């Protein structure tokens, strides 16, 4: 009987050739797309990223659940580089929501360990210091372990004086909680100044709330990308996103490619922002 091995070798060789050709075509397309996006020049002043799909990525690829979060953390570093290369002035990445803090304790512990590790990595990352990136952790962190809190505080302190990109890491973050915290901070300030409650209610303006949000001092996000195919904001920047443009990408966050990022930006560049008019 004739050996089937030569046929198997031929099939493997053809597959490798086909995959290489596809890779070359994708690379060429990505390069052209990158040049077109840069040539257009219009970039978001503040980009919001909802990093969704880590667990589903792990499930789809046969990995342990925790590995999805690990791959997601690596992807966040990669996307930060893309943003730096394009000169995007402000980026907010949503890493952990207030809803997520009620997940399985083992999974949450893994996420918090990753958060501590990545905070310490960013504090010594040459890109952060060379590009003078100011990093802030936004959200409610009071119940985080002391080691995680210390890592986040060290990162903020080491970059507080920088005047480059503003990078907000939203952890323990919820949009409703942010608005409540902003209103509370405003009322506490007014009470400390001795302003009567009736006068506070009479003179309250949207600007008073904006000034006490976690993102105070940073322009509202003009473009928000969410991965994983979910078409909702889930509470991300409820106050600030009133005039944001949205882009929903089907790929899970760990699988988010540079070509996906460039396609999103090209879509943004083609929109006519009318601010409700």
Tokens representing 102 are 């009620």
Question: Is residue 37 in some structural domain?
Answer: no
pLDDT tens, position by position, 65-108:
899 999 999 999 999 999 999 999 999 999 999 988 888 889 99
The answer to the question of residue 15 being in a domain is: no
Cα 185 to Cα 44: distance, rounded to the nearest angstrom: 29
Q: For 104-121, what is each residue's pLDDT tens digit?
A: 889 999 999 999 999 999
Q: What percent of the chain has pLDDT over 70?
A: 91
- C-alpha to C-alpha distance for 151 and 95, rounded to whole angstroms: 16
**Residue 185 domain flag:** no
Q: What is the CATH number of the domain that holds 167?
A: 3.40.1180.10
Binding-site positions for substrate: 53-57, 65, 69, 97-99, 103, 226, 232-234
Within a domain: residue 58?
yes
- Residue 146 confidence (pLDDT): 97
271, part of any domain? no
Q: Is residue 160 part of a domain?
A: yes
Specify the pairing of strand 46-50 against strand 223-226.
Answer: parallel
Count up the domains in the chain and report the number: 1
Q: What are phi and psi of 39, to 5 degrees?
A: -65, -35
Q: Which residues are CB-neighbours of 112 under 8 A, at least 6 positions away? A: 144, 145, 148
Q: For 149-200, write each residue's pLDDT tens digit.
A: 999 999 999 999 999 999 999 999 999 999 999 999 999 999 999 999 999 9
pLDDT of residue 102: 80
Is 3 a residue whose pLDDT tops 60?
Answer: no
Sequence-distant (≥ 6) Cβ neighbours of residue 93 within 8 angstroms: 49, 51, 76, 79, 167, 168, 169, 170
pTM: 0.89
Q: Report the distance separating Cα 23 and Cα 17, nearest Å.
A: 10
Q: Which positions are annotated as active-site residues?
A: 52, 100
Domain range for 148:
45-174+219-266
Residue 5: what pLDDT?
64
Please indicate, yes or no, if residue 83 is contained in any of the structural domains.
Answer: yes
């Amino acid at each position: 009987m004739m050996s089937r091995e030569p046929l198997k070798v031929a099939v493997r060789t053809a597959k490798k050739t086909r995959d290489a050709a596809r890779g070359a075509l994708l690379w060429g397309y990505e390069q052209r797309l990158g040049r077109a996006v840069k040539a257009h020049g219009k970039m978001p002043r503040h980009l919001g990223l909802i990093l969704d799909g880590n667990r589903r990525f792990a499930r789809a690829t046969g990995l342990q659940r925790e590995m999805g979060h690990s791959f997601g953390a690596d992807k966040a570093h990669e996307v930060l580089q893309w943003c730096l290369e394009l000169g995007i002035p402000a980026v907010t990445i949503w890493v952990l929501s207030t809803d997520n803090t009620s997940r399985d304790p083992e999974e949450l512990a893994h996420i918090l360990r990753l958060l501590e590790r990545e905070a310490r990595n960013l504090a010594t990352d040459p890109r952060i210091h060379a590009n003078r990136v100011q990093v802030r952790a936004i959200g409610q962190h009071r119940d985080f372990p002391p080691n995680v809190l210390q890592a986040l505080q060290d990162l903020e302190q080491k970059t507080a004086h920088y005047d480059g990109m503003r990078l907000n890491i939203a952890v323990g973050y919820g949009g409703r909680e942010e608005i409540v915290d902003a209103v509370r901070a405003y009322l506490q300030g007014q009470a400390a100044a001795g302003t009567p409650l009736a006068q506070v209610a009479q003179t309250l303006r949207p600007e008073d709330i904006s000034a006490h949000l976690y993102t105070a001092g940073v322009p509202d996000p003009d473009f928000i990308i969410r991965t994983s195919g979910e078409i909702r904001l889930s509470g991300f920047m409820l106050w600030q996103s009133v005039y944001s443009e949205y882009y929903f990408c089907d790929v899970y966050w760990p699988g988010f490619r540079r070509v996906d990022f460039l396609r999103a930006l090209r879509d943004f560049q083609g929109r006519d922002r009318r601010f409700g008019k």
